[in-house]
Amino acid sequence: MLEVRDLRVTYGHVEALHGISLEVNEGEIVALVGGNGAGKSTSLATISGLVRARAGTIRFCGQDIGRLSVEAIVRCGLCHCPEGRRIFPGLTVLENLKVGAAVRRRNERLEGDLGVIFELFPRLKERQKQRGWSLSGGEQQMLAIGRALMSRPKLLMLDEPSLGLAPIIIDQMFEAILTLNRRTGLAILLVEQNAAMAFEISSRAIVLESGGITLSGRSSVLASDPRVREAYLGG
């Protein structure tokens, strides 16, 4: 579904990504793991069109999307839920969700999609008339994911969905992500600081260090690798 080859990204004179290659197949959850500054967020931002690559190719469902606009990439079915939630604080929950459907045809009905999101995240249904600023951090993250889902993506890229959340909310968040993947077959590329959780819910994982891929393979295998355990799982 997603095929990235030899991707290079520079910020000024500094190369942030050193020719990385990765792929995500239909129905997969793939985790992208690494320390701060490894290039994880840059990878997602480049794939989604927010950052332009200096070299390399990005293909999605057979189409080269490397030079498409962000809106065009979303229309292709690839949606990026960035770190930091970035909801619209002055809009209600329902209005935020409808913003996510802005790329769809105007005559498409939204009720079914809203129903799926409210089933995944019942709190959003309870708070659909509340302004975004009044939500807790966990509720804002649910809203950010729900807004992304309103574009009807084929592949959803999630950047640090558990950042700053309480453990019980993190468990609920990842249970919802797993449910979504299993029920709909939605492919997910996940960047997550909680490496143990990332390995647990993904089928494959990629370890990124200093802008380059050092390890990749089945998550269950990598999670038992001594190098991974020492660096990301506390030994």
Of all residues in the chain, what percent carry a pLDDT higher than 70?
A: 97
Distance, CA of 161 to CA of 194 (rounded, Å):
10
CATH number, position 8: 3.40.50.300
Measured CA to CA in angstroms, residue 27 lies from 45, 160, 189 at distances of 21, 20, 10
**Secondary structure of 7-42 as H, E, C letters:** EEEEECCEEEEEEEEEEECCCCEEEEECCCCCCHHH
Number of domains in the chain: 1
In this predicted model, what pLDDT tens digit does every residue of 33-77 receive, in sequence order?
998 889 999 999 999 999 999 999 999 999 999 999 999 999 999
What is the average pLDDT value for the chain, to the nearest integer? Answer: 91
User: Which candidate, 30, 15, 21, places its Cα nearest to that of 210?
Assistant: 15
Helix (H) or strand (E) holding 2: strand 2-11
Write down the pLDDT at residue 118.
93
Whether the predicted model's global pTM rises above the 0.75 cut:
yes
Looking at residues 225-231, what average pLDDT do you find? Answer: 88
Given a cut of 90, whether residue 201 has pLDDT beyond it is yes
In this predicted model, what pLDDT tens digit does every residue of 95-113 receive, in sequence order?
999 998 887 766 567 788 8
CA 55 remoteness from chain centre: 23
Which structural domain, as residue segments, surrounds residue 162?
2-232
Given a cut of 90, whether residue 217 has pLDDT beyond it is yes
Q: Are 216 and 207 in contact (CB under 8 A)?
A: yes
